[in-house]
Chain A
Amino acid sequence: MFELLGIPPQVMMGQLLLGLINGSFYAVLSLGLAVIFGLLNIINFSHGAQYMLGAFVAWMLLTYLGLGYWWALVLAPVIVGATGLALERVALSRLYHLDHLYGLLLTFGVALIIQGLFRNYYGISGQPYQIPGALAGGQNLGFMFLPNYRAWVVVASVVVCFGTWFMIEKTRLGAYLRAATENPVLVGAFGINVPRLIALTYMFGVGLAGFAGVLAAPIYSVNPNMGADLIIVVFAVVVIGGMGSIMGAILTGYGIGLVEGLTRVFYPEGSAVVIFVIMAIVLMIKPEGLFGRTA
């Protein structure tokens, strides 16, 4: 089999696959952030905690109710989304007339509370969650072994990401969302219930975080810090893609995952910082992000 710059193909492909898996999580999470920021102008710092909540809800459904992975994939995003809906109605909706900073501070505080509560009850050692039977095992591709579950994560994230993009860019509901982002007062004067639209959008964005959490549960251990570790990277992805840009969040999520994987092959020491180096370069050259619109 071929070698590239002296790197065995198994290593190269393995790291690229890992990058693609990470990119799948970056894409789904940054998409949720972009949807929320795009419509609500809220920088949702509790997104990482809501991702963790998705993984924990999956674990709880299995542990306490005996409901397995496929049930969790449907129920956990709805449950986590419902907590987001409550947060929006009770607290966030009171901050829309204030500066972005207040929403950021509120959601940051909420993230700390959620993570603190879970650390208190479940510790930080992590809870195991098994890969569902139907997705156990893997495929030998000749040059590498592809675990079925990891292939599923990539496929599921691609479907969810492009389904969301289609809904926002190509449907009547998406047109309402885009219009309400620009001029909520006029959209309300057309007879559309903008507060409900905003609340459901936040619920949907948070539900995406919950969905990513369920996808992550069998790969990473389910622990209260899993979101906190990821959220800074995801914010960097959103900044690189362009705040509020749906397609920017998706493409940058996968792209950054792959770049991270390649860096791990060629310069492993740089893999942890490469995203932030890219973010700094993008901010210097194109401050609105790769896919963002100039203000």
Chain B
Amino acid sequence: MTDTTVERHAAAPAGTPLLEVRNLQGWYGESHVLHGMDFDVGEGEVVTLLGRNGAGKTSTLAAVMGILGKRTGSVAYNGTETIGMQPRHIARLGIALCPEERGIFSSLNVEENLMLPPRIQEGGLPVERIYELFPNLLERRRSQGTKLSGGEQQMLAIARILRTGARLLLLDEPTEGLAPVIVQQIGRTIAALKAEGFTIVLVEQNFRFAASVADRHYVVDQGRIVDMIPGEALEANTDKLHAYLGV
């Protein structure tokens, strides 16, 4: 890899980032969980938020989506400030969340779950393409959503936000609790989505998985970004990362 490539990934993305987060503070009730997050995500990038349990990774995604109890600071998407917006308005700008617990609706079948999020703009994947990416979902489209295996539920949770036309996908621990073979499949899916031009922020504890899919890694600790490691430099920074993650 050339130095230029490394530099491009290491620095904040050139031009205006698609997502620009500045001094983001967040609260769950009285509990202050984000203490000034600062990071950027460029268009078409896959960026991970790595950190220990409770570091503030999931809260960061919730704050970007507007579903954290209270938040201050700045979250700009494509130049539009979203900090005072309702979640439904943020979603309609082109941001979509795949939550940690997957959020599959038990009263809906697979197809209803898939078709639930409304199309918010052009550019979403057609249903046929989604079924190509996730053939299991086609076979089981009449099954109750929560009757799927954990891996299939995760695929459904990712699949349903691809239809909407959202360009920034927030994926919260998509590999959690899944068998290695399913984790590989999720990795291939994320690579395919990157190739399709989606921008992805990925929360992960499995840094080996993160290393295989991401361009850059932000390390989160105690509600702050404490480091940024380019994808190519991850190998060289393994010891440092172990110290951050406590593994």
Chain A positions within 8 Å of B115 at CB level = 172, 175
* Other contacts beyond A176-B116, A182-B106, A189-B97: 14, CB < 8 A: A175-B108, A178-B107, A178-B108, A182-B105, A183-B103, A185-B87, A186-B99, A188-B67, A189-B66, A189-B91, A191-B88, A191-B92, A192-B118, A194-B88
Report 10 cross-chain contacts, Cβ distance below 8 Å, ordered by A residue: A183-B105, A188-B87, A189-B66, A189-B87, A190-B88, A190-B96, A191-B88, A191-B92, A192-B88, A192-B117
- A191-B117, A191-B118 as given contacts; A181 in contact with B107, CB under 8 Å: yes
Residue A193 lies at the interface, judged by CB distance under 8 Å to chain B: yes
Residue B46 lies at the interface, judged by CB distance under 8 Å to chain A: no
- Rounded to whole angstroms, the CA-CA distance of A189 and B99 in the bound complex is 10
A residues 76-90 near B (Cβ < 8 Å) are: none
- Rounded to whole angstroms, the CA-CA distance of A165 and B68 in the bound complex is 35
Residue A135 lies at the interface, judged by CB distance under 8 Å to chain B: no
Chain B positions within 8 Å of A186 at CB level = 97, 99, 103
Closest to B112 in A: A175
Chain B positions within 8 Å of A179 at CB level = 105, 107-108, 116
Closest to B120 in A: A191
Closest to B97 in A: A189
Residue B34 lies at the interface, judged by CB distance under 8 Å to chain A: no
CB distance from A168 to the nearest CB of B (A): 10
Interface string of B47-74 (1 = CB under 8 A from A): 0000000000000000001110000000
Q: Select B107's contact among A182, A188, A192, beta carbons within 8 Å.
A: A182
Interface string of B207-223 (1 = CB under 8 A from A): 00000000000000000
Ranked nearest first, the 9 interchain pairs of A and B with the lowest CB-CB distance are A191-B91, A190-B117, A178-B107, A186-B103, A189-B87, A179-B105, A175-B112, A191-B92, A188-B87
Closest to A190 in B: B117
Contact A189 B67 (CB under 8 A): yes
A-B interface contact total, Cβ < 8 Å:
57
Chain B positions within 8 Å of A182 at CB level = 105-107
Closest to B170 in A: A189
- Rounded to whole angstroms, the CA-CA distance of A183 and B100 in the bound complex is 14
Interface string of B75-105 (1 = CB under 8 A from A): 0000000000011101110001101000101
* Chain B residue total in the interface (Cβ 8 A): 24
Interface string of B24-48 (1 = CB under 8 A from A): 0000000000000000000000000
Contact A190 B65 (CB under 8 A): no
Contact A185 B67 (CB under 8 A): yes
Chain A positions within 8 Å of B90 at CB level = 189
Contact B120 A189 (CB under 8 A): no
- Rounded to whole angstroms, the CA-CA distance of A188 and B86 in the bound complex is 9
Residue B164 lies at the interface, judged by CB distance under 8 Å to chain A: yes
CB distance from B63 to the nearest CB of A (A): 12
CB distance from A293 to the nearest CB of B (A): 9
- Rounded to whole angstroms, the CA-CA distance of A294 and B66 in the bound complex is 32
CB distance from B96 to the nearest CB of A (A): 8
Contact B164 A190 (CB under 8 A): yes
- Rounded to whole angstroms, the CA-CA distance of A186 and B164 in the bound complex is 14
Chain B positions within 8 Å of A172 at CB level = 115
- Rounded to whole angstroms, the CA-CA distance of A186 and B97 in the bound complex is 8
Chain A positions within 8 Å of B112 at CB level = 175
Closest to A185 in B: B67
B residues 88-144 near A (Cβ < 8 Å) are: 88, 90-92, 96-97, 99, 103, 105-108, 112, 115-118, 120
Chain B positions within 8 Å of A191 at CB level = 88, 91-92, 117-118, 120, 164
CB distance from A242 to the nearest CB of B (A): 13
Which interface residue of B96, B97, B116 has the most chain A CB atoms within 10 A?
B116
A residues 170-224 near B (Cβ < 8 Å) are: 172, 175-176, 178-179, 181-183, 185-194
Chain A positions within 8 Å of B120 at CB level = 191
Chain A positions within 8 Å of B65 at CB level = 189
Closest to B89 in A: A191
Closest to A193 in B: B88
Contact A178 B91 (CB under 8 A): no
Chain B positions within 8 Å of A194 at CB level = 88
- Rounded to whole angstroms, the CA-CA distance of A192 and B91 in the bound complex is 9
Closest to A170 in B: B112
Interface string of B146-165 (1 = CB under 8 A from A): 00000000000000000010
Closest to B117 in A: A190
Q: Select B88's contact among A178, A181, A188, beta carbons within 8 Å.
A: A188
Contact A190 B91 (CB under 8 A): yes
A residues 107-165 near B (Cβ < 8 Å) are: none
Q: Select A175's contact among B67, B99, B116, beta carbons within 8 Å.
A: B116
